[in-house]
Amino acid sequence: MMDNEGALTDEEESELETWAEGTGDKLEAWRAVYRRAEAEAALWKAEKARITKVQKRAESLMVRAKLAGVEILSARDQLGEPTSIRGVCHLHRTRSLVAPERLDLWPPEMLIAQDPKPDRKAAAEAVKAGRDVGEGFYLEDRQTVVWK
C-alpha cells in the first residue's frame, strides 16, 4: 500500500477498513498501522541521511579535483605552457563582481526592494496576547490522535 507515493487507492482504503473492523479492536489495529508506517518512515529517513552523506563526500571530492586542476593549469599558464589539454580539460576564465557586504556602501539604484512577507509567528503571538491585529486572524483548535 505504501508503493503509491503515500496515497491510498479507494480499494486499499476499503481493504484497510475491512481489516480494522475484523480485528475486534479498531483503535489497536489503526495503532499498529501507524507504528508500522512510522517505523518505515524512520528507516527511509535514515537511508536518506546516509545517501546525503555519501553525496556530500562525492561533491567534496569534485571540488577538490577541480581545485587541483586549476592549480596545475594555472602553473602551466605561468610557465607559458598550453592550458588546454585535448580530451582532458582546459582552463576557463570568468569574471565575477567583488562588492562590499555593507548595504550602505552600495548606490541606492543598485539595491533591490523586497516584497513584504507575513510574519506568522508575530501574528500568532499578538492574537494569543489578545491584541487586535485585524479581520481574519484567529487561533484555531485542531484535534489529532497521539499513539502510545
pTM of the model: 0.61
The DSSP secondary-structure symbol of 91 reads -
Euclidean distance between CA atoms 45 and 26, whole angstroms:
28
Q: How far from 144 is each of 116, 141, 147, CA to CA, in Å?
A: 33, 10, 10
**Would you state the cell numbers that stand for residue 94, as one nine-digit string?**
570568468
Give the residue among 125, 142, 144, 126 at the shortest CA–CA distance from 134: 126
List the domain boundaries for the chain. Answer: 10-102
Instruction: Return mean pLDDT, the chain.
Output: 91
Give pLDDT tens digits for 95-132: 999 999 999 999 999 999 999 999 999 999 999 999 99
Give pLDDT tens digits for 16-55: 889 888 988 989 988 998 998 899 999 999 999 999 999 9
